[in-house]
Chains A and B, each alone.
Chain A
Amino acid sequence: MSVLAIAEHRRGELRPVSLEQLAAGRALADELGGELHTAVIGGDVEAFGSDLNREGVDIVHTVDIGEEFNHDVYTQAVTQLATELNPTVLLMPNSVNGLDYAPAVANRLGRPLVTDVVDIDAEDGLTATRELYGSKTETTIDVHAEQAAVTIRPAEWPTIEADGDATIEAFDATIDESAVKSTVKGFEEVGGGDIDITDADVLVSVGRGIEEEENLDIIHDLAEALDATVSGSRPLIDNGWLEKDRQVGQSGKVVTPDVYIAIGISGAVQHVAGMKGSDTIVAINTDPNAPIFDIADYGIQDDLFEVVPALIEQFQ
C-alpha cells in the first residue's frame, strides 16, 4: 500500500513540483497506511537524491541514467521501478514532461490514469478532484481499480521543506536503447522582443477579452499613461498580437510586479501560475465569475472598452 512519486528536474535543478508531490504523497501514504517512496531519474542523482530526502519520505530511489529528460528513457525506467515496487498510487507531475511519459507508463502498467489532479484522497478507495471546462467547475472521479497512476497539478500542494531520514537506494534500470527513438538536441529560450517583463514594476496585461488586434491601442495608451509595460495571456501571443516574450503564464514568464492589471483575462490556471506572486492584482473583466477575481485584490466587473478609456482619462 505504498506511494511512489517521480521527481522532475531540468537543467540541473529539481522543479518545485517534485517537493509538492511529497506532500500529496505523504498524505496518501498515511491514508493507505504505507510508505512514501520518491525517485529521481537522470542528472546529478546523488545531489537530487539528498535534496529529496525530506520529512515523511521513507525511501529515495536514484536512477543514474542520462542527464536531461528523455521520455523513452523515463517511460522504461519508471515502468521498471513501479513494477518492482508495485505502489498503490504512482504520482507524477502534471507538467509538460510529465504528460510526455505518464500516459505511456500508465498504459504499460495497465493502470488507469487520472491527470491534472488538484486534490486526492484514498480513504474509501481513490477519489481524485479535477477541474472541467477551464476551471469553471470541479468534478470528483472515483477510481475503480486497486492501483492507479495520477498526475498532480503543480502549485496545488505545499512543498516539503524539512529534512528527512529516508534511505537512499540506487535502482538499476535496464534501458533498451533500440526503443529510444527520440533525441533531445537542446533547449531554446523564447525570445522575440527586447523587453524583459519580469523586470517591470507595473504590468498592464491583456487577454482574450480585447477581441481584436486593433483594440490593443487602448492597452498601449494605458500603459503609456501609467509608465507601465504591456504583457499578455496566451491567446494574444498565439495570435501574434504580442511578442512571445511578453507572455505571462506557465509556458511564458513568471512575473512578480508591484502592480499587475489584468484586463480581459479570465484567469485560467496556466495564466495564474505566472502572475499570482504579484504584489497587488487588479482585474477588469465583464464576467463576475471569472477565476481572475478569485486571486485579485481589486476588481472592476465591467466592460473593459468603457473602463480603460475612462482610466486613461484619469491620468491625462
Chain B
Amino acid sequence: MKILVTVKEVAAVDDEFEIDGLAIDDRYVTADLNEWDEYAVEEAVQIKEAHDDVEVVTVTIGPSETDETIRQALAKGADRAIRVWDDALADAGLLDPETKAEVLAAVAAEEDPDLVLTGVQSADDGFGATGVTLADKLDMEWGAVVNDLDLDLEAGVASVHRELEGGVEELTDIEIPAVLTIQTGINDPRYASLRGIRQAQSKELAEYSLVDVGLDAAEIESPLEQTSLYEPETEGEATVFEGSPEETAAELAELLAEKGVTS
C-alpha cells in the first residue's frame, strides 16, 4: 500500500511586519511545515506502523529552499519525497487550488497511491480546496476535514469522522482509494528523533520539473491574480488599560467587580 502525503512549506508572519508589494517583507517571515500537513504526515506514518508493506511518500510544490521542511517530514517517518518546481511555476504568480491540484495529480498519476492525505488547509493562503480538487481530478473518492480515521484495508473502506461546525461530527464511510483532508487534533504529531533526522538526510528527495511530470507551462496558468496586499483596518474600540501589570490587573479587577464577577 502506498500513501501520498502533500506537504507544504508555509510562511509564519511575526506579530509586527511590513508589506513589500504583494508579499510580507522576508525579514518578518519564518518558513515552517504547514501545521495541518504535520498531522497528515503523522497519520500516514501511524498507518505505516500499524500495517505491513506501507510506503509513505510526500509531495511538495516548491523551490529547493523548501527541502529543509521536506526533511522534517522524512525525519518523522516518511520514506521518500518528491518536490516539483521550475521556472514556469516560479513565474506563475498565485498558485490557486486548481493549479496546485493539476501538478499534484500529475505526480499522483505516476505514483498510483491507495490513499492521499493532505492538510485541510495551509496556514498562509488558506484556500482549503486543493485536496478535494485533487481527488476529483484523480477520479478518487474524498473526505474533507477528517479528524478521526479507521482504515479497513480488506473492505477497502475508510471510516472517518468529519468535524462539522458547532461540536458535531459526521460519521462517514468512504471507499478507497481516496483523498482525505486531515484536520489538526486527529493525532499527536511526534517530534523527529535524532536518529530520524540523521536518516532523513539519506532518504530520496526527487526533484521534478513540470515537464518531468508530463505538464507544460500553459497547463498551470492560474485565472486568479493577486492585486493587492494590505493590513485590514482595525475596527477595534477596546478600552485598553495602561500601566504596569499590577495597575492593569487592578483596573480589570475593578471592572469585573462592577460587572458582578466575583466569587
Interface residues of A (CB under 8 A from B): 10, 69, 71-72, 75, 94-97, 99-104, 106-108, 112-116, 127, 130-145, 151, 181-190, 202, 224-228, 234-235, 237-238, 240, 244-245, 247, 250-254, 258-259, 280, 282-283, 286-287, 289-290, 293-303, 306-307, 310-311, 313-315
**Could you say which residues of chain B place their CB within 8 Å of the CB of A294?**
234-236, 238
Q: Is the CB of A298 within 8 A of B230?
A: no
Q: Is the CB of B261 within 8 A of A293?
A: no
B133, chain A: closest CB distance, angstroms: 4
Q: Is the CB of B169 within 8 A of A190?
A: yes
Nearest B residue to A316, CB-CB: B263
User: Ordered nearest first, which 9 A-B pairs have the shortest CB separation?
Assistant: A310-B249, A314-B253, A238-B185, A103-B132, A306-B245, A227-B263, A100-B144, A181-B175, A294-B236
- The interface bits of chain B over 231-263 (1 if a CB of A lies within 8 angstroms of the residue's CB, else 0) are 110111111110001101110110110011111
For chain B, the count of residues having a C-beta within 8 Å of the partner chain is 86
B165 contacts partner chain A, Cβ-Cβ < 8 Å: yes
**8 Å CB contact of A133 from B11, B174, B175, B238:** B11
Q: Is the CB of A228 within 8 A of B261?
A: yes
B208, chain A: closest CB distance, angstroms: 23
Q: Is the CB of A226 within 8 A of B175?
A: no
Q: Is the CB of B225 within 8 A of A107?
A: no
Docked Cα-Cα span, A252 to B19, in Å, equals: 33
B202 contacts partner chain A, Cβ-Cβ < 8 Å: no
Nearest A residue to B181, CB-CB: A99
**Could you say which residues of chain A place their CB within 8 Å of the CB of B169?**
187-190
B226, chain A: closest CB distance, angstroms: 6
Q: Is the CB of B133 within 8 A of A107?
A: yes
**Could you say which residues of chain A place their CB within 8 Å of the CB of B235?**
294
B167 contacts partner chain A, Cβ-Cβ < 8 Å: yes
Docked Cα-Cα span, A302 to B36, in Å, equals: 29
Q: Is the CB of A184 within 8 A of B168?
A: no
Docked Cα-Cα span, A95 to B145, in Å, equals: 10
**8 Å CB contact of B141 from A69, A182, A237:** A182
Which residues of B from 123 to 165 have beta carbons under 8 Å from A?
Answer: 123-133, 135-137, 141-145, 159, 161-165
Docked Cα-Cα span, A307 to B185, in Å, equals: 29
Which residues of B from 170 to 198 have beta carbons under 8 Å from A?
Answer: 170-175, 178, 184-185, 188
- Sampled A-B contacts (22; CB under 8 Å): A100-B132, A102-B129, A103-B132, A113-B96, A133-B13, A136-B13, A137-B231, A181-B175, A182-B175, A186-B170, A190-B167, A202-B261, A240-B188, A245-B167, A247-B167, A253-B167, A258-B261, A297-B237, A299-B241, A300-B241, A307-B245, A310-B245
**Could you say which residues of chain A place their CB within 8 Å of the CB of B24?**
133, 137
A223, chain B: closest CB distance, angstroms: 10
B87 contacts partner chain A, Cβ-Cβ < 8 Å: no
Q: Is the CB of A282 within 8 A of B252?
A: yes
Docked Cα-Cα span, A113 to B120, in Å, equals: 16
Q: Is the CB of B124 within 8 A of A188?
A: no
The residue in A234, A251, A302 that gathers the most chain B C-beta atoms within 10 A of its C-beta is A251
Q: Is the CB of B229 within 8 A of A287?
A: no
Q: Is the CB of B184 within 8 A of A103?
A: no
Q: Is the CB of A182 within 8 A of B143?
A: yes
Docked Cα-Cα span, A298 to B15, in Å, equals: 20
**Could you say which residues of chain B place their CB within 8 Å of the CB of A300?**
240-241, 248-249, 252
**8 Å CB contact of A298 from B175, B239, B246:** B239
